């Protein structure tokens, strides 16, 4: 079973965003073990993050749902932990970003809460594809 670790700067979503996120986490745990760790400052997070983790960054690599599923499969097959980093409102410096692979959810900037829910949904969608669930439906060709 794939292990997923989400490292975040700042407070985790509350209210409606938390409810939506918790729903995706509930379904995600069918396919993976999942843990979120929140840090008060970027410095605190960076001290714990492993090189090679995936940093969410609007300038990162954009994946389709299928290619993201293939990425998750690689980690699952190797038995490695898939670690994602969600920065705070000020992000990270170019030097700090060099330690990590980068994934773009969109070239547009968004709020922490929306990015948090978005990546949870994409993790669930990707693993649904990997495990043959009917959640993801490809467009007819």
Q: What is the pLDDT of residues 48-72, one digit of tens each?
A: 999 889 999 999 999 999 999 999 9
For the whole model, what pTM was predicted? Answer: 0.93
pLDDT digits (tens, 9 = 90+) for 76-133: 999 999 999 999 888 899 999 999 999 999 999 889 999 999 999 999 999 999 999 8
pLDDT of residue 70: 97
β-sheet bridge partners, residue 5: 35, 83
pLDDT of residue 2: 96
pLDDT of residue 88: 87
Query: Which residue matches tokens 């749902």?
Result: 65
Q: What does the alpha-carbon distance between residue 129 and residue 141 come to, in Å, rounded to a whole number?
A: 18
pLDDT band at 32 (very low <50, low <70, confident <90, very high): very high
pLDDT of residue 65: 94
117 or 138: whose pLDDT is higher?
Answer: 117
**Residue 83: CB partners within 8 Å, gap ≥ 6?**
4, 5, 6, 7, 49, 50, 53, 54
pLDDT of residue 136: 81
CB 85 within 8 A of CB 140: no
pLDDT band at 139 (very low <50, low <70, confident <90, very high): low
């Amino acid at each position: 079973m794939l292990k997923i670790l989400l490292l975040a700067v700042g407070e985790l979503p509350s209210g409606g965003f938390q409810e939506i996120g918790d729903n995706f986490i509930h379904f995600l745990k069918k396919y993976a073990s999942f843990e979120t760790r929140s840090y008060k400052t970027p410095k605190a997070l960076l001290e714990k993050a492993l090189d090679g983790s995936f940093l969410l960054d609007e300038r990162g690599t954009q994946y389709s749902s299928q290619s993201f599923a293939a990425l998750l499969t690689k980690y699952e097959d190797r038995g490695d932990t898939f670690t994602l980093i969600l920065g705070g409102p000020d992000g990270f410096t170019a030097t700090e970003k060099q330690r990590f692979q980068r994934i773009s959810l969109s070239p547009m900037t968004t709020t922490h809460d929306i990015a948090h829910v978005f990546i949870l949904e994409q993790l669930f969608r990707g693993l649904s594809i990997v495990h043959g669930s009917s959640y993801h439906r490809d467009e007819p060709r």
